[in-house]
Amino acid sequence: MIKKGSEILIDAILDEGIDTIFAYPGASIIPILDYMYDKKDVLTHYLTADEQGATHAADGYARSTGNVGTVLVSSGPGSTNAVTAIATAYFDSIPLVVFTGQVQNQNIGSDSFQECDIVSITMPITKYSHQVKDVEELQLEVRKAYRIATSGRPGPVVIDLPKDIQLSKAETISFEEIKAIDDARPKNIHTSFNYRAVEVFAEYINKAERPLILAGGGIIASDTSDILRELTIKGDIPVVNSLMGQGIMDSNSRLSLGHVGMHGHKRSNYAMRNCDLLITLGARFSDRVTAEIEEFAKNAKIIQVDIDHSEIDKIIEINYSLHADLRDFMPNLLEAVEERDRSGWIDYINENLEFNDEYTEEWTPRNIIKAIKHSVGKDSFIATDVGQHQMWVSQFYGFDNPRQFVTSGGFGTMGFGLGAAIGTQIANPEKRVVLVTGDGSFRMNMNELVTVTKYKLPIVIIILNNGVLGMVRQWQTLFQEERYYATELTDDVDFIKLADAFNIEGRTVSTIKDLEQSMKDAFDSKKAMVINALIDKKAMVFPIIPAGGSYEDAIVSSGR
């Protein structure tokens, strides 16, 4: 069948099973939008406040479901507005396909109106970035884009579409035929999984007296959290997780030690210092996890499994590694590991390190986060921005399910939270979604409140408002002799009036009781609410490992 490029694109997207797209219009994608009009019964479009919000929303959609997120933006500033959000997805291995409009081929290179070489800009922050030169290749490029975004280590893909390509015509074939052509092409995905490697891993684990698992986002991406939980019980092996690995373990498990690294739990970091074997599963050794490399897990042998070969031996010297898909590896490792009782090791970790899940009425960040969990229920989603509030949530919330924590890890993107919460709520309409943010982060993309209102999304937004850029100010307090500069937010944004401008109820709270009541009222009403929670600007995140320091150098209180 002969179709225009715009029709080929949308029909190919539908062939991939996509039913939701986050798009912001522009002149360079009008032909695509025109055909979307004919497909609005099968392809739901969400219009956000801008392109960054659209791409963050697609990211939240993908993180919370494991499905690929789809974005359509215009050329020039439309495409560059999406760049920060694309980078955010790239650093956390989130599958996105972003289609960008472009000026006509004949105008490329002439500094045409809203022309931008988005392919070159995004090449370092995507798995694949490509400009379609011929309408004949478009159908196959869409198939390739979704396959690349979701295979191996997931990540974002950018496909750039000159306007004349959208208007040109080409013969199309069935999805089965196009998939067969793509499947026949050579792929750059090769893993070295073999049963002997599983036996070697099991030997390391079975001989260890103080083993520790470091679990990262790869466990969640591979949907192997349940197998990991079985493995930990069988081998009686404690688990620490990276920020991206929150929710892999039930927080109430005696084997779940929580978040590790720069702002990790005391007992997590304690276990890392004292283990004799570190089993790294789907986690990269970021500087936020390792701190000083020479001192990292210095008493342990380190073994690692990762689907991305470039992550193996990249930062930390590994004793034994395997380039493999955890979907293949984990069931076999579970079978090979011996049943053990390592209660002595668990008791050693927890000695003098009480982990109290209770909370009081005292108005502190810890109690605020505990009260939020108490109010929302076990199966809700928590999104955050980046800053002190993010670390408090990671430390104190106690996640119980994978994909429950929607946050920017590797890129640390302030302004991520509201867009991501929107995408999460759209993908999970029956679940509660709460955004915990800071006043600094929230101001970066608070324009997306219009999207919350437009689609009647019942997101509860809790702003931990301390009137400062808290994490930077904390560093100025601890390491710069309290020389505060450019961190005081003295303009006093009235978040209640702001919420009212978007027809959203807003409340200011400063007690646990009022916070819990406000959340209850919001959930009962099934409407959005902005809760302005006033906190002390002197509150800090502890522990904190100083720059260049090791786990031994962690500061655990303002008194050091």
Q: CA-CA-CA-CA torsion for 515, 521, 526, 530, nearest 10 degrees? A: -40
Task: For residue 405, indicate whether it is catalytic.
Answer: no
Rounded to 10°, the helix 175-184/138-150 angle is 60
Q: Report the DSSP pairing between strands 277-281 and 381-384.
A: unpaired
Backbone angles phi, psi at 130, to 5 degrees: -150, 140
Task: Tell me the chain's radius of gyration from C-alpha atoms.
Answer: 24
Q: Distance from CA of residue 72 to its chain's centroid? A: 20
Task: For residue 113, indicate whether it is catalytic.
Answer: yes
Backbone angles phi, psi at 190, to 5 degrees: -135, 120
Backbone angles phi, psi at 488, to 5 degrees: -90, 120
Nearest-angstrom CA–CA distance, 16 and 147: 9
Q: Among residues 244, 471, 519, 540, which one is catalytic?
A: 471
Nearest-angstrom CA–CA distance, 203 and 218: 23
Residues whose CB is less than 8 angstroms from the CB of residue 315 and which lie 6 or more positions away in sequence, other chains included: 284, 285, 290, 293
Residue with tokens 């995004």: 122
DSSP for 55-112? HHHHHHHHHHHSSPEEEEE-STHHHHTTHHHHHHHHHTT--EEEEEEE--GGGTTTT-
Q: Report the DSSP pairing between strands 211-215 and 277-281.
A: parallel
Nearest-angstrom CA–CA distance, 267 and 306: 25
Q: Report the DSSP pairing between strands 2-4 and 169-171.
A: antiparallel
Q: Is 64:403 a contact under the CB 8 Å cutoff?
A: yes
Residue 74, CB half-sphere, CA atoms under 13 Å: how many? 16
Nearest-angstrom CA–CA distance, 393 and 443: 19
For the chain, the distance separating the N- and C-terminal CA atoms, rounded to the nearest angstrom, is: 71
**Which of 473, 472, 469 shows the shortest CA–CA distance to 489?**
469
Residue with tokens 């646990």: 512
Task: For residue 114, indicate whether it is catalytic.
Answer: yes
Q: Is 389:436 a contact under the CB 8 Å cutoff?
A: yes
Task: For residue 396, indicate whether it is catalytic.
Answer: no
Task: For residue 351, indicate whether it is catalytic.
Answer: no
Q: Among residues 39, 104, 114, 203, which one is catalytic?
A: 114
Residues whose CB is less than 8 angstroms from the CB of residue 156 and which lie 6 or more positions away in sequence, other chains included: 86, 89, 90, 94, 95, 96, 97, 98, 122, 125, 126, 127, 149
Q: Among residues 163, 266, 527, 537, which one is catalytic?
A: 163
Q: Is the peptide bond before 543 cis (omega within 30 degrees of 0)?
A: yes
Q: Among residues 106, 113, 177, 480, which one is catalytic?
A: 113
Q: Report the DSSP pairing between strands 156-162 and 239-241.
A: unpaired
Residue with tokens 């689907």: 307
**Which of 532, 519, 507, 508 shows the shortest CA–CA distance to 375?**
519
Q: Among residues 7, 51, 141, 448, which one is catalytic?
A: 51
**What is the length of the chain?**
560
What is the set of active-site residues? Answer: 51, 113-114, 163, 471
